[in-house]
Amino acid sequence: MGRPSVREEIVQAAVGQFHRHGFNGSSVDDITRSAGVPKGSFYNHFKGKEQLALEVLDRYAAAQPTALLLQKDLPPLKRLKKYFTVLGEGFIAAGCHQGCMLGNFSSELADHSAAIRKDLGARFAGWVEALAGVIREGQRSGEISTNQKPELLAGFLLSAWEGTLLRARAGNDPAILKDFLTVAFNQLLT
């Protein structure tokens, strides 16, 4: 067992490395160098990159602005719009790079690691549930008039968000995020 601080430095460095370069694009060497710890210390703390990736996902998810979805002083649609606006600001601040780590890992790893796939599946399901809760509130209050199931609307909205990030990275164009908000709030959730 190595020092806990080394472990923490590795996890924190890996959040950045995996987000910038992907899982296969980040070697153990890259991660330990970025953490400023000896390469040999890695295997004192982790069985391998897969175990590290699961911790990185935990760390990444904990840093998301999910609490905004529960901010009940804002009406449901305003709250959802604020939430996606904040997510978008983070993406634009990163130069329209990096995108969502859940989406990135789904693309790169879901077919190759059962443990990571299950973790991602559960995280997406929880995310859909959180969004569906706000949509359900909006339907009850009459802000949203469609009677489509909130879980289906939330899933579609989340899919559109993930795809928006992919297209905005490919197009290097933050306007694609504005278009997402326009259609989400003037057509989908009406």
Q: Which residues bind a second copy (CB under 8 A)?
A: 20-22, 24-25, 97-99, 102-104, 106-108, 110-112, 117, 120-121, 123-125, 146, 148, 152-153, 155-156, 158-164, 166-167, 169-173, 176, 179-180, 182-184, 186-188
Burial degree of 7 (CB within 10 A; 0-12, 13-18, 19+) = buried
C-beta of 89: minimal distance to a second copy in Å?
A: 18
Q: Which is nearer to a second copy, 37 or 189 (CB)?
A: 189
Q: Which is nearer to a second copy, 24 or 71 (CB)?
A: 24
Coil, helix or strand for 142?
Answer: coil
Amino acid residing at 153: L
Instruction: Calculate the alpha carbon distances from 159 to 79, 124, 152, 175 in Å.
Output: 19, 10, 10, 18
C-beta of 3: minimal distance to a second copy in Å?
A: 31
Q: Which is nearer to a second copy, 9 or 162 (CB)?
A: 162
Instruction: Calculate the alpha carbon distances from 26 to 29, 31, 42 in Å.
Output: 8, 7, 14
C-beta of 79: minimal distance to a second copy in Å?
A: 20
Which residue, 170, 167, 135, is CA-closest to 178?
167
Q: Which is nearer to a second copy, 36 or 126 (CB)?
A: 126
C-beta of 40: minimal distance to a second copy in Å?
A: 24
C-beta of 20: minimal distance to a second copy in Å?
A: 7
Q: What secondary structure letter does DSSP report for 39?
A: G
Which residues lie closer than 8 Å to 20 by C-beta, 6 or more apart?
Answer: 97, 98
